């Protein structure tokens, strides 16, 4: 067991991540996400015909009053870190402090190729992310920035490049690799765990660190890097499959068959899968918070032809909050 008392005391938060395909009424959809009890609505960052993440977050904030909005996660290679910080501070200001910035190293080679961007190896992309965070973090807190890196060279006094932020902007760093998770442990407010890894050109998704032992191992990487600040970090889990069922074993076997390379037992054991009745799902999430300290759970709106998890998680939220 890896959780701590302070993590167990955190209230459960629920997020929905979406690309919001065209043809759906944005304002009505966003209001519905807020009304059923979700805490956060986030937008992915892929070069596809979907909403751009900053614009989507701004529109979602304008259409709601309580809902936090954010990015899950920005591809660091698509924007300069100064511009990322400026957008984040602006969104925090216009939303009344409801914006959360999620940032990652980028992984889909096909998008780089389509846009004519050089796709560097993973180590270089993570190096660039590390430097970008060194630029972004002081700008998000109104401090001077002085970075002389391989990829970014930024020097400015407090308030010269980005207006002093009127609200705090929480930083989420997500990933599965040890370097990204160590970086997250050192600087992030929220650490995103997904249990999946992509191959070199992101043509395959591998379920690594997907079971109980795997997520404990990844959290320990974060803990080792965080040191005394570990208890201040909010842990986020990205649930890959949500399946309402009265036969969990059969559902696990079906998922394992569809994914390939993983056993039904691993699916049943995975913190990134939610199977069962809505009552069982609610109990499972409470138990996982006790076991892992994960208090913030994100589900997909629609993904690769799978239906949105919104209706089922809305029922789970209702059960947990009475």
> What pLDDT is recorded for position 21?
62
Which pLDDT value is given to residue 244?
Answer: 98
Give CB contacts under 8 A, 24+ apart, made by 131-134: 131/81, 132/76, 132/81, 132/84, 132/103, 133/81, 133/103, 133/171, 133/173, 133/183, 133/187
For residue 288, is it within any domain?
A: yes
176 within domain boundaries: yes
Instruction: Kindly report the number of other CB atoms within 10 A of residue 22's CB atom.
Output: 9
Report d(CA 80, CA 280) in Å as an integer. Answer: 44
Whether 259 contacts 266, CB under 8 Å: no
Per the structure, the count of domains in the chain is 1
Residue 253 in any domain: the answer is no
pLDDT at 140: 97
Model-wide pTM > 0.75: yes
User: Is residue 260 domain-resident?
Assistant: no
pLDDT in tens, the chain (322 residues): 555 445 547 999 999 999 876 556 899 999 999 999 999 999 999 998 889 999 999 999 999 999 999 999 999 999 999 999 999 999 999 999 999 999 999 999 999 999 999 999 999 999 999 999 999 999 999 999 999 999 999 999 999 999 988 999 999 998 899 999 999 999 999 999 998 877 666 667 777 899 999 999 999 999 999 999 999 999 999 999 999 999 999 999 999 999 888 999 999 999 999 999 999 999 999 999 999 999 999 999 987 778 999 999 999 999 999 8
Partners of 75 in the β-ladder = 104
Q: What is the pLDDT, as a whole number, of residue 5?
A: 43
- Whether residue 83 lies inside any domain: the answer is yes
> How far is residue 269's CA from residue 139's CA, in Å, rounded to a whole number?
41
In a domain, residue 267? The reply is: no
Q: Residue 178: helix, strand or coil by DSSP?
A: helix
Tokens found for residue 183: 């970086």
pLDDT in the model for residue 306: 84
Please report whether residue 225 resides in a domain: yes
> Are residues 208 and 172 in contact, defined by beta-carbon separation less than 8 angstroms?
no
Question: What residues make up the domain containing 110?
Answer: 5-239+278-321
pLDDT tens profile 194-219: 988 776 666 677 778 999 999 999 99
CATH of residue 200 = 3.20.20.30
The residues pairing with 148 across neighbouring beta strands, listed in sequence order, are: 153
261 part of a folded domain: no
| Neighbouring C-beta atoms of residue 190, cutoff 10 Å | 22
| Residue 308: closest CA among 17, 105, 9 | 17
Give the long-range contacts of residues 137-145, CB within 8 A, separation 24 or more. 137/171, 137/187, 139/81, 139/82, 139/85, 139/86, 139/89, 140/85, 140/88, 140/89, 140/101, 140/165, 140/168, 140/169, 140/171, 141/165, 141/168
pLDDT for the residue numbered 305: 77
- pLDDT number for residue 200: 65
Residue 158 gets which letter from DSSP? Answer: T
Minimal CA–CA distance to 136: which of 198, 192, 73, 94? 73
């Amino acid at each position: 067991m890896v959780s701590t008392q302070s993590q167990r005391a955190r209230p459960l938060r629920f997020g929905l991540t979406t690309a919001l395909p065209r043809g759906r009424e944005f304002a009505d959809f966003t209001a519905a996400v807020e009304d059923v009890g979700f805490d956060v609505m986030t937008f992915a960052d892929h070069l596809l015909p979907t909403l751009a993440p900053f614009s989507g977050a701004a529109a979602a904030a304008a259409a709601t009053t309580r809902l936090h909005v954010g990015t899950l996660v920005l591809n660091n290679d698509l924007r300069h870190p100064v511009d990322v910080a400026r957008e984040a501070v602006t969104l925090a200001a216009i939303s009344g402090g409801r914006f959360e910035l999620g940032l990652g190293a980028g992984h889909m080679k096909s998008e780089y190729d389509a846009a004519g961007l050089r796709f560097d190896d993973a180590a270089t992309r993570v190096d660039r992310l590390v430097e970008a965070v060194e630029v972004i973090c002081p700008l998000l807190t109104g401090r001077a920035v002085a970075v002389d890196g391989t990829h970014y060279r930024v020097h400015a006094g407090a308030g010269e490049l980005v207006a002093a932020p009127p609200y705090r902007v929480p930083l989420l760093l997500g990933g599965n690799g040890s370097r990204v998770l160590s970086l997250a442990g050192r600087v992030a407010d929220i650490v995103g765990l997904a249990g999946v890894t992509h191959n070199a050109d992101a043509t395959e998704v591998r379920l690594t660190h997907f079971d109980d032992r795997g997520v404990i191992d990844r959290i320990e990487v974060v803990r080792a890097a965080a040191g005394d600040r570990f208890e201040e970090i909010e842990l986020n889990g990205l649930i890959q499959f949500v399946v309402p069922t009265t036969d969990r074993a059969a559902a696990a076997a079906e998922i394992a068959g569809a994914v390939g390379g993983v056993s039904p037992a691993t699916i049943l054991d995975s913190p990134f899968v939610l199977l069962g009745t809505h009552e069982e799902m609610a109990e499972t999430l409470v138990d996982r918070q006790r076991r892992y300290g994960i208090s913030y759970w994100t589900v997909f709106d629609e993904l690769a032809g799978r239906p949105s998890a919104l209706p089922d998680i809305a029922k789970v939220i209702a059960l947990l909050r009475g």
